[in-house]
Amino acid sequence: MKILAVGGAGTIGRRLLPELHARGHQVIVAGRSSGEVRVDLAEPETIDAMYRQVGAVDAVVSIAAHGALDEFATLTVPELHENMRAKFYGQAELVLRGQHCAADGASFTLTSGIFADEPWPRVTGGGAVNSALHGFVRSAAIELPRNMRVNVVSPAMIADSADRFGALFPGMRPVPMDELVRHYLHCVESDDTGTIVRAYG
């Protein structure tokens, strides 16, 4: 398959892309400052430009955007909106715009996170974003044209990032990278659609 990996140069992509290549897939990496194609999920016009540049693809895997931490006592709706620009709206745009230019039967695999199901301090925005992604995927799955599919992988803290983020989420069990990679591969290569893959370790 011809696969577009948005954010493919990041932590997940460094482990996922070699597996995709090993399975015979062609992978095009898109990112804000790395890869063959430039895209900023917070800027919808760059998503259109990306799709024009790469042409019809068989799969889109989004492993790019991260939400910001917040302080609930001072949290504002504009801050929530800003938190959603790339992580929710940007990933939704990958599907909404991609449905018109991806190949027949193409799949979209998005990334949410554990805060949709498990509350933690300082991630109210993350909880809202991830829950919104889950609702979007369930609804989009029944309306996508041309036998297209959409799924979302919802990881806990990623094992390869535990040294960096473990202190922020004490007690959270990281998801092993090999397990996480298997989930993304399954979403790309299976016939599943409308699935929320809870990779919580």
pLDDT tens-digit map of 137-157: 999 999 999 999 999 999 999
In the chain, the percentage of residues whose pLDDT exceeds 70 is 100
The verdict on domain 2-199 having CATH code 3.40.50.620 is no
pLDDT at 23: 98
Per-residue pLDDT tens over the stretch 41-89: 999 999 999 999 999 999 999 998 677 899 999 999 999 999 999 899 9
pLDDT at 37: 97
DSSP 194: S
d(CA 66, CA 76): 19
pLDDT at 65: 67
pLDDT at 49: 98
Determine which helix (DSSP H) or strand (DSSP E) holds 28, and give its type and residue range: strand 26-31
Kindly tell me if the per-residue pLDDT of 1 is higher than 70.
Answer: yes
Per domain, the residue ranges of the chain are: 2-199
pLDDT at 66: 75
Cβ(5)–Cβ(17) below 8 Å: yes
